[in-house]
């Protein structure tokens, strides 16, 4: 049964519901939560809690778990589960944000990179290790978001970003079409695929940045189970008023 074939009528959302949403491009995770919370309030759920389990950047799409009512108590457990992504990485150039949020700041040779070298670089990046988050991220530094410091002109040379322990369980090369490669990644919570793209470039003696990202799985929830946001909101409107 597809998400669109499901019926939300008769559900008491205060008892708890996990909505698997395919986050739209250029929406923040908070935008999605806010939209769903507003729709629920219009149905009579005036004080209902709504939250998400695992942030996706605005330029990413895919599985976003939106926890409603008592399901918000499961947020921490859901966030801790393994994630899977498909990503396009552009070799030979870097950006300050490690993705398309900012324009290219440096270019590098990439013609020397073979398919075998790309596969070996991915293998070398697998396993448990410390990873430095992007400066353009929501990480807090002395009470400020890292991206706020970056927009104020700070750089990675002047701001110390605390590295996080992450695990790359599997990194697979799916497509090789220089200067672009497509990868599939299974990883732990807290992994920045933008940072992984930068690390791939460095491992290959070049530069790299992320050009697209899609979360295909979060724990046991997959993209095949996900609602399109518009369709979920439409089904909510058709459900029984609280």
Residues with catalytic roles: 57
Q: How far apart are the first and last CA of the chain?
A: 26
Token digits of residue 170: 């599997």
Contact assessment for residue 195 and residue 132, using Cβ atoms and an 8 Å cutoff: yes
The strand pairing partners of 90, in sequence order, are 180, 209
Is the sign of the CA dihedral 97, 99, 101, 106 positive or negative?
positive
Residue 8 contacts by C-beta under 8 Å, 6 or more apart in sequence? Answer: 235, 236, 238, 239
Identify which of 236, 226, 234 has the alpha carbon closest to the alpha carbon of residue 64.
226
Contact assessment for residue 167 and residue 128, using Cβ atoms and an 8 Å cutoff: yes
């Amino acid at each position: 049964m597809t998400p669109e074939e499901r019926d939300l009528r008769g559900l008491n959302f205060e008892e708890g519901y996990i909505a698997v949403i395919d986050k739209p491009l250029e929406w923040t995770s908070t935008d999605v939560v806010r939209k769903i919370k507003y729709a629920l309030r219009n149905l009579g759920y005036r004080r209902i809690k709504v939250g998400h389990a695992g942030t996706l950047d605005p330029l990413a799409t895919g599985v976003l778990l939106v926890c409603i009512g008592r399901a918000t108590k499961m947020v921490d457990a859901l966030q801790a589960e393994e994630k899977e992504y498909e990503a396009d990485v552009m070799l030979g150039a870097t950006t300050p944000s490690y993705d398309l949020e900012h324009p290219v700041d440096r270019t590098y040779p990439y013609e020397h990179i073979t398919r075998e070298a790309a596969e070996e670089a991915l293998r070398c990046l697998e396993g448990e290790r410390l990873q430095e988050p992007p400066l353009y991220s929501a990480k807090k530094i002395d009470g400020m978001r890292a991206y706020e410091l970056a927009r104020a002109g700070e750089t990675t040379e002047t701001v110390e970003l605390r590295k996080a322990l992450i695990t790359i369980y599997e990194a697979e090369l799916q497509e090789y079409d220089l200067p672009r490669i497509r990868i599939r990644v299974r990883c732990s919570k807290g992994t920045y695929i933008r940072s992984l793209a930068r690390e791939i470039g460095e491992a290959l003696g070049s530069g790299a940045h992320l050009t697209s990202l899609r979360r295909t799985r979060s724990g046991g929830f997959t993209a095949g189970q996900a609602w399109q946001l518009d369709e979920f909101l439409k089904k909510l409107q058709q459900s029984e008023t609280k």
